[in-house]
Amino acid sequence: MEPIIEVKDLSKVFKSEGILVEALQKINLKIHKGEIYGIIGMSGAGKSTLVRCLNYLEKPTEGTVLVEAEDLGKLAERELRQKRSEISMIFQHFNLLMQKKVIDNIAFPLLIQGVRKKEARKRAAELLKTVGLSDKADAYPAQLSGGQKQRVAIARALAPNPKILLCDEATSALDPQTTESILELLKEINHKYGITIVIITHEMAVVRKICTHVAIVEKGRIIEQGNMTDIFNHPKSKKARELIIGHREEELWTGETRQRDRLEKTDKLRIVFSENSAFEPVIANMVLQFGIPVNILKADTKNVGGVAKGEMILGIPKERNIQLEMKAYLAAHGLEIEEVTDDDME
C-alpha cells in the first residue's frame, strides 16, 4: 500500500552564530493512511523539526517529503498552501485567538479559505459536538481549562476536513487525567474520520496508549522504527530500552502511589474465621470479584483439622456502598464481622 507520507533522506541544517547545527540527518520514514504514528525522543532530539518538515513549515536542507505521492518541494507556493489545507496541526500551547469566542476560533480557518460565515459557524458547531464542548460555543478561551482549550484546538484543526493531523507535544501541558481524555478523543477521531495522526512526544506513555507505529529519534537520527507493540516488547536500541524502562518505572511508581493513597482512605474491619475451609481463599476471591484491593493489617489464623480458625483485620475502602457489598460477601461466606477503630489496634 502506498504511504500517505514518505520521507526520503531528509536532512535539516540550521546556521546559528556562524555554527552549522544538524537538526536532522538522513531521515527515512513511511506513514500509511489511518495509522496513529508516534515520533518520540527527548528534548533536542529533532522530532519537532521533523514534524514541521512534514508540512514544509520547515523546508529540508536535503531530501524529499512526499504526501500522497506529491513532492512538497516541487509544488508552487499556491499549490503548497492548498496541500497544507489537508494537513492540520495542533500544538502544546493551543494557539487560540484569545479575543474571539470558541465557535469563531473553530470557524477561523474556514473563513480564511473563503467559506461563508454562516456555513463556517455551522461546521464549527458540529465539531464542538464532536469534541464534547457544545455548551462552550460563546465562551472565550480564557474561560476554559487546559483540556477544554486543547479540545477547541482539535476542533479547529478538523474544520478544513484534513487527511492528516500533526500533533506537536499536544498533551505536554496537561495533567495526566486530561491527557488521557485527549488521547481517547484522538483515537475516536482517527476511528470515525480515518484521519492519519502523527504524534510528536517525549512520553512513552502517550505512544503506548494511542500509537500503532513509532519511530524513536535521537540526535537527529531515527534509531528504531516499526510496530509499536514489537518495539515496546522487543526494543533493539539502547535509547528505546531507556525510554521503555523509564516508562515502566514511572508506571510502577504511579501504581504504588495510588495504592498508598487508597490504603490511607480505608476503614478497618475485623473478620473472624470459625467454620471456613482452610483451603478456601475467601479474601482473594473477594478482591477478584470487586476489583478493589484490601490491606491485611493483622492476621492470626491457623489451620485446625482443615478448618480456618482465628481472626484477620482488613483495611477496606471508605465508600459506604462498597463496604456494604463487601460485608455482605464476607457474611455469605460464613465469616463473623465487626468494625474496629485505631484504639482497638493498639
What is the band of 252 on the pLDDT scale with cuts at 50, 70, 90?
Answer: very low
Task: Summarize the confidence of residues 131-159 as an average pLDDT.
Answer: 91
169 phi-psi bin (left φ>0, alpha ψ -120 to 50, beta other): left
pLDDT over 80 (residue 237): no
Look at 96-105, 204-213, 220-229, 319-328 and tell me which has the smallest mean pLDDT. 319-328
pLDDT over 70 (residue 253): no
What is the band of 239 on the pLDDT scale with cuts at 50, 70, 90?
Answer: confident
The alpha-carbon radius of gyration of the chain (Å, integer) is: 27
pLDDT over 70 (residue 268): yes
The number of beta carbons lying within 10 Å of the beta carbon of residue 322 is 13
The confidence score (pLDDT) of residue 88 equals: 92
pLDDT over 80 (residue 55): yes
pLDDT over 90 (residue 26): yes
Task: Summarize the confidence of residues 147-168 as an average pLDDT.
Answer: 92
Task: Summarize the confidence of residues 252-277 as an average pLDDT.
Answer: 60
The confidence score (pLDDT) of residue 126 equals: 93
CA distance 41 to 162: 26
CA distance 233 to 187: 22
User: How confident is the prediction for the chain on average, in pLDDT?
Assistant: 83
Higher pLDDT, 185 or 286: 185
Task: Summarize the confidence of residues 12-39 as an average pLDDT.
Answer: 90
pLDDT over 90 (residue 10): yes
SS3 221: strand
To the question of pTM greater than 0.85 for the whole model, the response is no
Contact assessment for residue 167 and residue 199, using Cβ atoms and an 8 Å cutoff: yes
CA distance 58 to 46: 12
Domains and CATH numbers, the chain: 5-233 (3.40.50.300), 266-345 (3.30.70.260)
What is the band of 75 on the pLDDT scale with cuts at 50, 70, 90?
Answer: very high
H or E stretch covering 22: strand 19-31
Higher pLDDT, 244 or 329: 329
pLDDT digits (tens, 9 = 90+) for 161-182: 999 999 988 888 788 888 888 8
Distance spanning both ends of the chain, measured CA to CA: 70
CA distance 247 to 266: 29
CA distance 246 to 236: 16
Q: CA angle, corner 190, sides to 81 and 232, nearest 5?
A: 110
Task: Summarize the confidence of residues 45-70 as an average pLDDT.
Answer: 91
The confidence score (pLDDT) of residue 263 equals: 47
The confidence score (pLDDT) of residue 208 equals: 83
Look at 86-100, 203-217, 258-272 and tell me which has the smallest mean pLDDT. 258-272
CA distance 342 to 251: 32
Task: Summarize the confidence of residues 274-293 as an average pLDDT.
Answer: 72
pLDDT over 50 (residue 40): yes
Task: Summarize the confidence of residues 209-222 as an average pLDDT.
Answer: 90
pLDDT digits (tens, 9 = 90+) for 298-341: 777 666 666 666 778 888 887 777 788 888 888 888 788 877 76
